[in-house]
C-alpha cells in the first residue's frame, strides 16, 4: 500500500489535448483514523485518480478537491466508449489550465463520500452491514486530514497548489489553515467561508426529503436500496440553486415539452426528452378518465426530473446527509474566533474567484475571504467573473477562468517556499 511510485502511475493513451483513458485506484490504510468529533474508524479507503506525472523533485503536484456531488473522476474517460469525461475535463489536460504536461494532478473522493472512498455506504467490518448513520460525523477538516494521510503515503512532500470550487473551495481554504505551507498555492472558487442561512435552509429541506422517505429507515437500508424518492427531490431542488434565473430562462424559458418536440432541432443541446418522465417510480402521475394531469409540461420540469433520476443511480442518500451537514457546519470564523484569525497561520498564496450570478455562494462571500487574508497580512487575489450561469459557472467552459488559473499557477508564489 505504501509503494508510492506504483500508486502514482501516470495515465496513458491520451489523445492530443486530452487526458484520455484513466483508471481510478483505491488507497487503503488499516491505521485507525480519528475524526474531529472524536470517533475512530479502523482505517479507511480513498478512491482517487491522477493525471500527468510527478517530476523528480516531486514539487509539481496539484490536488483537486471536489464539490458535494462530484468525485475523484475529474478528467479523462474510463473507456473508449465513455461519452462523458470527468467533471473538470475542460480545465485539466495537456496544455489546459491545469497542464498535465507540467503538473501532476490528483483528486480523491472525499471521506464520507460514496464513490469508492470510505463513508456511510461502506461495509462496517464489525457488523458486516453498511455503516449507515453509525459512520462518524464528517467535517471539511476530516476530508482534508484524510487526504493529507493519503498524500503523505504517496510520498508527496508538498503541493504546488490545491484547487476546488464550492465545497472543493472550502477544502482548499481548510488546507491552507490545517497544514500551513503544505500547499503553496490555494485556488478557491464559487465558495464561502461559511454558508448563509438560506443555503443551510436548502440543504435542510433536502435532508428532510431524504429522512422522511420511508425507505430511509433511519439510514439503515441495504446496499443498493434506500430513499430514492427523497434523494431525487433533494437533488432536483439543489440543482435549481446551482443555476441562475437568467440561465434557466435562456435554456428552457417557458417552452413546453410538446412545443419543443414539434419545433425544429435546436442548435444547442436540448434537455433530454422524456417519455417516461415519472423519474422515480415510473408510475403515471394521472389516474384514468378525465383526471387532471400533473405530468411533465414544461421543459424545465423534464430537465429536473432527469437530473433527479440520474443522481439516484450514482449517489448514496446517507452520504448526501453527511456531506451537506459538513458543508453547513463549515465556518472558519466560528472555529477560529474570526476569519482573519483563522488565516493568521496561512503560508500560501491564494486566489479566490467569485461569479456574479452565483446566488448560492455569492461574490461577496468569496470577496470577503480575500479581504480577511489581506487583513491577516497574507498574499491573496480576488477575481470576479461576470457570468449568468450561476453557481455552476466554475464547472463550465470559461476561457477567462482558465486564464486566471493558468496565470496564477505560472507566476512565482508570493510566500516563502517551505519544502521544495
DSSP helix/strand/coil, 67: coil
Report the length, in residues, of the chain. 420
Q: Which is nearer to its own copies, 104 or 320 (CB)?
A: 320
Closest contact distance (angstroms) between CB of 297 and its own copies is 8
Minimum distance from residue 206 beta carbon to its own copies (Å): 9
Catalytic residue (choose from 122, 158, 166, 398): 166
SS3 123: strand
Active site residue 71: no
* CB nearer its own copies, residue 10 or residue 273: 273
Q: Which is nearer to its own copies, 158 or 247 (CB)?
A: 247
Q: What is the dihedral of CA 64, 65, 66, 72, to 10 degrees?
A: 60
Among residues 71, 349, 358, 392, the one annotated as catalytic is 358
- Closest distance between its own copies and the C-beta of residue 198, in Å? 4
Shortest CB 205 distance to its own copies, Å:
5
Kindly give the pairing relationship between strand 380-385 and strand 349-355: parallel
Using an 8 Å Cβ cutoff, are 219 and 133 in contact? yes
Does residue 166 carry a catalytic annotation?
Answer: yes
CB of 208 to its own copies, least distance (A): 6
CB closer to its own copies out of 148 and 325: 325
Residues lying near its own copies in the complex (CB under 8 A) are found at 39, 132-137, 194-198, 200-202, 204-205, 207-209, 211-214, 218-220, 229, 232-233, 236-237, 240, 243-245, 248-249, 251-254, 279-281, 285-287, 289-292, 294, 297-298, 300-301, 304-305, 308, 321-322, 325, 328-329, 331, 334, 359, 362
What value, to the nearest 5°, has the Cα angle with vertex 81 and ends 84 and 51? 60
**69 given a catalytic annotation:** no
Per annotation, catalytic residue among 391, 392, 393, 398? 391
176 and 29 in contact (C-beta within 8 Å)? no
In the complex with its own copies, the residue whose CB is nearer, 54 or 132, is 132
List of E strands, 52-193:
61-65, 92-93, 98-99, 104-108, 123-124, 129-130, 161-165, 185-189
Supply the DSSP string of 280-296, one letter for each residue. TT---SS-SSS----S-
- State whether the Cα torsion 403-191-172-104 is positive or negative: negative
The residues annotated as belonging to the active site are 166, 358, 391
Amino acid at each position: 500500500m505504501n509503494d508510492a511510485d506504483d500508486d502514482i502511475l501516470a495515465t496513458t493513451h491520451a489523445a492530443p489535448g486530452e487526458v484520455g483513458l484513466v483508471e481510478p485506484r483505491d488507497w487503503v490504510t488499516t491505521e485507525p483514523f480519528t475524526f474531529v468529533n472524536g470517533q475512530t474508524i479502523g482505517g479507511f479507503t480513498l478512491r482517487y485518480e491522477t493525471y500527468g506525472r510527478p517530476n523528480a523533485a516531486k514539487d509539481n503536484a496539484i490536488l483537486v478537491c471536489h464539490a458535494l456531488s462530484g468525485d475523484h473522476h475529474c478528467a479523462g474517460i474510463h473507456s473508449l466508449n465513455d461519452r462523458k469525461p470527468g467533471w473538470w475535463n475542460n480545465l485539466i489536460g495537456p496544455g489546459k489550465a491545469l497542464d498535465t504536461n507540467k503538473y501532476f494532478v490528483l483528486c480523491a473522493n472525499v471521506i464520507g463520500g460514496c464513490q469508492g472512498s470510505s463513508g456511510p455506504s461502506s461495509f462496517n467490518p464489525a457488523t458486516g452491514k453498511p455503516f449507515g448513520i453509525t459512520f462518524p460525523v464528517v467535517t471539511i477538516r476530516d476530508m482534508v486530514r484524510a487526504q493529507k494521510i493519503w498524500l503523505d503515503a504517496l510520498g508527496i512532500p508538498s503541493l504546488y497548489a490545491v484547487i476546488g470550487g464550492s465545497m472543493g473551495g472550502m477544502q482548499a481554504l481548510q488546507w491552507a489553515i490545517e497544514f500551513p505551507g503544505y500547499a503553496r498555492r490555494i485556488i478557491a472558487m464559487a465558495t464561502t467561508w461559511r454558508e448563509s442561512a438560506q443555503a443551510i435552509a436548502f440543504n435542510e429541506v433536502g435532508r428532510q426529503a431524504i429522512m422522511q422517505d420511508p425507505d430511509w429507515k433511519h439510514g439503515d437500508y441495504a446496499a443498493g436500496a434506500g430513499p430514492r424518492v427523497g434523494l431525487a427531490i433533494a437533488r432536483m431542488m439543489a440543482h435549481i440553486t446551482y443555476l441562475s434565473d437568467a440561465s434557466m430562462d435562456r435554456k428552457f424559458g417557458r417552452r413546453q415539452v410538446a412545443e419543443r418536440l414539434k419545433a425544429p432541432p435546436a442548435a444547442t443541446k436540448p434537455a433530454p426528452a422524456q417519455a417516461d418522465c415519472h423519474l422515480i417510480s415510473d408510475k403515471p402521475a394521472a389516474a384514468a378518465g378525465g383526471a387532471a394531469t400533473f405530468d411533465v409540461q414544461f421543459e424545465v420540469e423534464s430537465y429536473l426530473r432527469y437530473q433527479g433520476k440520474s443522481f439516484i443511480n450514482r449517489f448514496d442518500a446517507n452520504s448526501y446527509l453527511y456531506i451537506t451537514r459538513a458543508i453547513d457546519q463549515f465556518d472558519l470564523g466560528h472555529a477560529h474566533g474570526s476569519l482573519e484569525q483563522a488565516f493568521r497561520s496561512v503560508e500560501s498564496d491564494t486566489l479566490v474567484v467569485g461569479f456574479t450570478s452565483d446566488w448560492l455562494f455569492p461574490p461577496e462571500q468569496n470577496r470577503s475571504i480575500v479581504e480577511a487574508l489581506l487583513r491577516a497580512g497574507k498574499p491573496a487575489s480576488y477575481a470576479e467573473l461576470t457570468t449568468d450561469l450561476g453557481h455552476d459557472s466554475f464547472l463550465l467552459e470559461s476561457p477567462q477562468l482558465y486564464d486566471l488559473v493558468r496565470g496564477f499557477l505560472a507566476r512565482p508564489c508570493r510566500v516563502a517556499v517551505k519544502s521544495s
